[in-house]
Amino acid sequence: MKKILLAVFVVSSAISVSAQCLTDQYHKIAKTLHPNIVQEEQAFNNSIAQISSSKRVTKYIIPVVFHVIHTNGPENISKAQIEDQIRILNQDFSLNNPNKTAIRAPFTSVAADCQIEFRLAQVDPSGNCTDGINRVYSPLHVDARDNVKSITGARWDYRKYLNIWVVSSIQDNSGTGGTTLGYAYLPSAVAGGMGNMDGIVMRSDCMGTIGTGNPTYAGRTLTHEIGHYLGLFHTFEDGCAGTGSSKGDLCADTPPVAGTFTNANCPANGNSCNTDAPDLIDQWENYMDYSQGTCQSMFSNNQKTRMHNVITGYSFRSNLVSAANLIATGVNKSNVVPLAFFSSSARVVCAGDPVYYYDNSCKAQVTSKQWQFVGANISSTNKDTAVVTYSTPGFYKVTLTVTNANGSNTLNIDNYVEVKPRIAPNKPSVSQDFGKADWNTNTGWRILDPTATKLTRDTTTGYRGNNSLYAPISSSVPAGMRFQLVTPQIDMRPLAGKSPKLSLMLAYIRQSATSTEEFRLYYSKGCNYNWTQFIYRGATALAYTSTFSPTFKPNASNQWKQLSFGLNSFEQDSNIAFMIELVSGAGNPIYIDEINIGQYNTDISAVESIKALNIFPNPSEGLLNISYEHNSGETEIWLENLQGQIIDTVLMPTQAEGQVQVQYHKNALIDNGLYILKIRSNNQVINKKVIFAN
């Protein structure tokens, strides 16, 4: 099936003339590909009465699921932000929005309580409890379109749920450079055979007004898109052509509007069309205009009628609001045994922090409940919301039993909550060179990527050896895919006043001038992993050279560059972790090595571990005597050419400390000339130029 966009909301707060609505363009394409859509649309439009003053006894209730498509970035918006968006929707569709008092006099009489309510689904398609938020890890959140609807588990039955896909950006193929904030399919297209495409795709920063929600849009982008989902057109449809119910949006009580962004700035007395009778000013208050979200405040009576006709006239919409479906999706309760389900304010906490447990049981009304906790300050309670604390670090079990007249149900989850020490046990310097196969086993270092394509240890290349970690980026890895490495929790206070820093070695070369690989650094204070970005570097800054290559793997030390970032603002934190994030641009892999968090750009324990270094004779005919005083730890010595390639290694004695004497005999295959002898102890490396000559 061809993927066709039918309704798109394109908005720019700066009002760019290149921004373009794609509704008409793609709806025409859809009619061409599916001629029966034309018949469906005509039959539906002919069946609608233009004005209806009747008020329903009850509201239409629509079950909603938000599929949050993410890779642990800001697009993974919080439950609170989604609930804020639901609040806005329910205010807008019931004419309870606070800014309705700003509706101008010509339109107060036609502003409608649409009697439509949206509720987060409480039961998923498998019959399990849910909070109506389905988080799906996928890089397709970048430049998303209908492809997100094919992600496994990210599409529920459109006849039972309003599917909303939340993404970081939406691909714009209009060629205008505009920004697409969201889009929806019109019901006539769904009836014409495009049911698998039914639903709404939304940018995450247009969701609600808290968290990442952009206040300029005021949460009205989704209000607008649901208008399309329920059969509404833009108020500026067909410009000034047509009058009354025959004008573009088929609603007589919404005056015609000349163009897409005519009312972008909400002009007080703007009247872009004089073809209507009576000749009214533009109704930029309408949610289906492209005025600023803070100006929008109403649907009209005709729009309400049209939406109600969609709900009752199309079987897939009428099933959505049916009593049976409201029970099946859990938004209404049934006379059965409840199914126990719970959530909490956090799954990872510091010892002593309160944890709030919420009863999210579904399917039936709960008349009594019993919580049981292992390791908490209380062992049980029957409160709706339980608040407990844990004093000892560890993993703890939580149990909830819910009961009504029909019976009881119990949910036990072992190791549900992880309690960590309030003061991090790790003190700087904290370093990692990936030299051991079990480098991330019980060390606090963690790879977050839950996909098969993730950060991988390479045992054939490194900055000073044969080990490193790399993001396997290539043209087949989608742009926007994130590869994330988390450090252990660290108590930074021993470095107060000592200019602490995080440093690492990175190897990367751009595939082309348009390469978009990225490096980001985040921090998280306390025991919850709530990440805040504080460092960003683009592809140009990461590359060790300005040249390009279709593929890349480092094979010399000069292909690595050191990145170092000051941590002065964190030196008083007793419990902090950092996350290194490498972002794909569908280009070349990125390698990292020698990560260190401490006072120096090398491990603090390795500073001055090599003393009194002497190499003689130099120049040499082939024999080098190497002597030095060594404190502790392993030592490596190797020879590199001027291109940074390792050409020979030096056999080391077993002596670990004290005065060390080593002899090196030049391999006969090595030509005379200038070379670099490198001596490494822990993370300290000393470079010495040596000359071989006869």
Please list, residue by residue across 286-316, b when 16 or more beta carbons sit within 10 angstroms of its beta carbon and e when fewer do: bbbbbbbbebbbbbbbbbbbbbbbbbebbee
State whether residue 164 is helix, strand or coil.
strand
How far is CA 687 from its chain centroid? Answer: 43
Assess contact for 424 and 489: CB atoms under 8 A: yes
Please list, residue by residue across 25-54, b when 16 or more beta carbons sit within 10 angstroms of its beta carbon and e when fewer do: bbbeebbeebeebeebbeebeeebeeeeee
Dist CA 352 CA 344 (whole Å): 16
What's the Cα-to-Cα distance from 40 to each of 46, 159, 192, 231, rounded to whole Å? 10, 18, 7, 12
Dist CA 359 CA 402 (whole Å): 9
Tokens 């306390």, residue located: 526
- As given in the structure block, the two tokens for residue 268 are 């007080």
Assess contact for 335 and 69: CB atoms under 8 A: no
Assess contact for 290 and 28: CB atoms under 8 A: no
Tokens 């389900």, residue located: 341
- As given in the structure block, the two tokens for residue 299 are 């649907």
H/E segment holding residue 380:
strand 380-381
Assess contact for 215 and 99: CB atoms under 8 A: no
Assess contact for 569 and 535: CB atoms under 8 A: no
H/E segment holding residue 444:
none
Assess contact for 115 and 94: CB atoms under 8 A: yes
Tell me how long the chain is.
694
Tokens 């460092």, residue located: 535
| Identified catalytic residue from 225, 518, 581, 594 | 225
Dist CA 291 CA 260 (whole Å): 9
- Report angle CA 317, 323, 328 to the nearest 5 degrees: 90
Dist CA 591 CA 457 (whole Å): 9
Dist CA 129 CA 122 (whole Å): 6
- Report angle CA 606, 608, 610 to the nearest 5 degrees: 90
Dist CA 150 CA 147 (whole Å): 6
Spatial neighbors of 19 by CB under 8 A, at least 6 apart, are 10, 11, 12, 176, 177, 178, 179, 260, 261
- As given in the structure block, the two tokens for residue 244 are 């009354």
Which phi and psi angles does 148 have, rounded to 5°?
-70, -20
Pairing, β 355-359 against β 385-388 = antiparallel
Tokens 């714009």, residue located: 172
Whether 83 is catalytic is no
- Active-site residues, by number, are 225
